[in-house]
Structure 1
Amino acid sequence: MRKLILVTALALLGWLTMPTTARAQYNNWSVGVRLGEPSGVNIRKYFGNNHAFDLNIGTYGGLYGTKRSYRNGEYKSVGLTVQGHYLWHTALTKSESLRAYYGFGGQVNTRKFYNAGGNQSQLSIGGSGIGGLEYFPVNKPYSFFLETGAYVELLQAPFFLSLNTGIGLRYNF
């Protein structure tokens, strides 16, 4: 029994101290799912060692409640959004399995807006910023991410602010 424990301990110690050359598997493209605000399909294109473009296409207004004050009325439904960010990213670990990123871009939303005159479809456009962490399991083709940021509307309601947060999974190819 002692020999088995000693051999197991030595094997575990050898495995933990063994140098590894494995790298994270972030490649040219990744496609996945983002849950949060907005929720939907996420596509990322990597450029070089530390740049990327991130595109989200999905729903807007569901995470923080469908009923929200807006201009002289309110939103009461979920809408469609397209959000894009140019990103800078950097490795936080030697194996590059954990990366941090931040970026800036824009967002276009469509959503029904309700006021005393009834309801109407509302198109809004604004700027957004995002920051997050992405974990690439070593030698696996997928990654997990967690991010947060903000959207500031420019058209229709200047300076309307919305929090953008999300978690997700991407397949890297």
Structure 2
Amino acid sequence: MKKKYLFAITLLLVSLGITTKASAQYTNWAVGFRLGEPAGINVRKYFAENRAIDVNIGTFGGLYGNNRDYLRGAYRSVGITLQGHYLFHNRLFGKDSMHGYYGFGGQINSRRYYPDRLAYVNEYETRLSLGASGVAGAEYFLPNRPLSVFLEAGLYAEALPSPLFFNVQSGLGLRLNL
């Protein structure tokens, strides 16, 4: 786990040292990484004047507890997730370098589920889940660099198979604006 964080910090420091002629504005595409829940790779496509599609591919369940009661059993591991949001974004404080955003979308998860009926043998089932998610955040575009740093928070509300199973989500990350 320490190696992951060391790698992420090293990548961040190296990325901050890259200089180009890019302005402190978003472009068509951005690719980066997100630490938090979910954690993983982040891809964003900007379009129109204040819209974007944001996709996260990675893991979930590690930040807010990988041992949680669920249905008639428990989750005891970190899972894999695909999350997508349709975003609305605007400048904050009248500055091009700061944007606030919010959006809504969905999330598909795969995680080990340990049902009570299999507790005596300590076996699990792989459980797929589907739900809605919402997010709000702020993004700072570094001056004269094609990088942005973001901080966001949101909520996941499962629809299937456990309606209204809620999970708080948050994260911070770094994106390279292409």
Using the size of structure 2 for normalisation, the TM-score is 0.83
| Greater CA drift, 87-96 or 57-66 | 87-96
Residue 102 of structure 2 is matched in structure 1 by 102
Displacement, 1:158? 0.1
Please point out which of 152, 160, 165 is paired with 1:160: 165
**Counterparts of 1:102 and 1:38, CA distance in 2:** 16
Q: Provide the rounded CA distance (Å) in 2 between the counterparts of 1:48 and 1:23.
A: 19
User: Residue in 2 aligned with 1:124?
Assistant: 129
Q: Which structure would you say has the larger Rg?
A: 1
List runs of 5+ in structure 1 lacking aligned partners.
Answer: 1-21
Name structure 2 gaps, 5 residues minimum. Answer: 1-21, 119-123
- Runs (4+) of structure 1 exceeding 3 A deviation are none
Give distance in 2, aligned partners of 1:29 and 1:75: 35
Residue 117 of structure 1: how far off its partner (Å): 2.5
**Number of aligned positions between the proteins:** 152
Identity of aligned residues (%): 55
Alpha-carbon distance between aligned partners in 2 of 1:52 and 1:39, rounded to the nearest angstrom: 20
How far off its partner does 1:23 sit? 5.2
Distance 1:73 1:94 in 2: 50
Alpha-carbon separation, structure 2, partners of 1:117 and 1:25: 54
Q: TM-score, normalised by structure 1?
A: 0.85
* Aligned position for 1:171: 176
Instruction: Within 5 Å, give how 1:44-55 maps onto structure 2.
Output: 44-55=44-55
Q: Which whole-Å CA distance do the structure 2 matches of 1:146 and 1:65 have between them?
A: 20
User: Could you report, residue by residue, the CA deviation over 1:13-51 in whole angstroms, capped at 9, with x for unpaired residues?
Assistant: xxxxxxxxx952210000000000000000000002200
Q: Cα distance, 1:140 vs. partner?
A: 1.1
